[in-house]
Amino acid sequence: MDELLLRRAQSGDPGAFEQLMTPLENRIWRVCWHYTGNRETAEDCAQEAMLRIWRGLNSFRGDCAFETWVSRIAANCCLDELRRRKRDQSVSIEPLREAGFDPPDPKPGTAEQAEAADERQRLRECITRLPEEQREALVLTQLEGVAYEEAAEQLGISQGTLKSRINRAKQRLRDLLSGERELSGPENVHTDEGRQGRRGQP
């Protein structure tokens, strides 16, 4: 991060703020997409995050990395929005393939394609039904790929607490998916533990 740009932005220079934030726009978008899974909602949350960052820039004191601070604001925007929109919520689950939650990936035009889409939708819906603290831990580490140390810092908890929330989130997903299976028939979602994130493994 360019400290001079930060100081200029904090003094109210919109041009400096734009330069400061341009490299972080994709990061903000990814956070918002992973939390919401809906393009329109993610765009709204990303815009709101940029506004909050601009308005609160002077509150950044360097206690954590600027990127961490920015990501936390984006996550909070999404959580606020998800509290308001309790219906039609979904979360992108593609990165969860690496964590062991792996719907089949059939060839286009097959009957399995529609079934796989249904399974992905079930998984998205189950993720949105997780308790907030569990969903937050899961999204940060399993979807966004944030290192455990950084994720714990963002959430203001210990790494042990973070790991516990992730484990509970995975178990809760299994329970929810099991319930969906009973209601909807055979399920092809595999739920081995897999690795616990692309970075920052314990």
Closest by Cα among 62, 79, 68, 91 to 176: 91
- What is the C-alpha separation between 75 and 139, in angstroms, rounded? 10
The total number of structural domains in the chain stands at 2
Q: For CA atoms 20, 68, 37, 107, give the dihedral sign.
A: positive
The amino acid at 83: R
**By residue range, what is the domain housing residue 151?**
94-191
Answer whether residue 13 shows pLDDT above 80. Answer: yes
Query: Which range among 11-20, 79-88, 95-104 has the greatest average pLDDT?
Result: 11-20
- What is the C-alpha separation between 59 and 185, in angstroms, rounded? 52
- What is the C-alpha separation between 76 and 113, in angstroms, rounded? 34
Query: pTM of the full predicted structure?
Result: 0.56
Closest by Cα among 191, 195, 161, 146 to 173: 191
Element (H, E) at 118: helix 111-128
- What is the C-alpha separation between 60 and 28, in angstroms, rounded? 17
- Whether residue 201 is contained in a domain is answered as no
Q: What is the pLDDT of residues 92-141, one digit of tens each?
A: 555 666 556 655 554 555 656 566 666 766 777 787 788 888 888 888 88
Task: Determine the average pLDDT of the residues in 54-60.
Answer: 93
* 70 and 107 together in one domain: no
* 78 and 101 together in one domain: no
Query: 52, 84, 116 — which closes off a domain?
Result: 84
Query: 84, 106, 141 — which closes off a domain?
Result: 84
* 29 and 105 together in one domain: no
Answer whether residue 191 shows pLDDT above 50. Answer: no
Residues with Cβ within 8 Å of 189's Cβ and at least 6 positions away in sequence, in order, are 101, 102, 103, 119, 122, 123, 177
- Whether residue 199 is contained in a domain is answered as no
More confident residue, 53 or 151: 53
Q: Could you tell me if 100 and 190 are in contact, meaning their C-beta atoms sit under 8 angstroms apart?
A: yes
More confident residue, 64 or 168: 168
pLDDT at 179: 73
In this prediction, what percent of the chain has a pLDDT beyond 90? 28
* 111 and 157 together in one domain: yes
More confident residue, 101 or 148: 148
Question: Which CATH number goes with the domain that contains 21?
Answer: 1.10.1740.10
Residue 40 tokens, joined: 């329109």
Q: Could you tell me if 81 and 73 are in contact, meaning their C-beta atoms sit under 8 angstroms apart?
A: no
Q: Could you tell me if 99 and 194 are in contact, meaning their C-beta atoms sit under 8 angstroms apart?
A: yes
Query: 39, 57, 84 — which closes off a domain?
Result: 84
Residues with Cβ within 8 Å of 53's Cβ and at least 6 positions away in sequence, in order, are 21, 70, 73
- Torsion angle (degrees, nearest 10) of CA 10, 16, 20, 26: 120
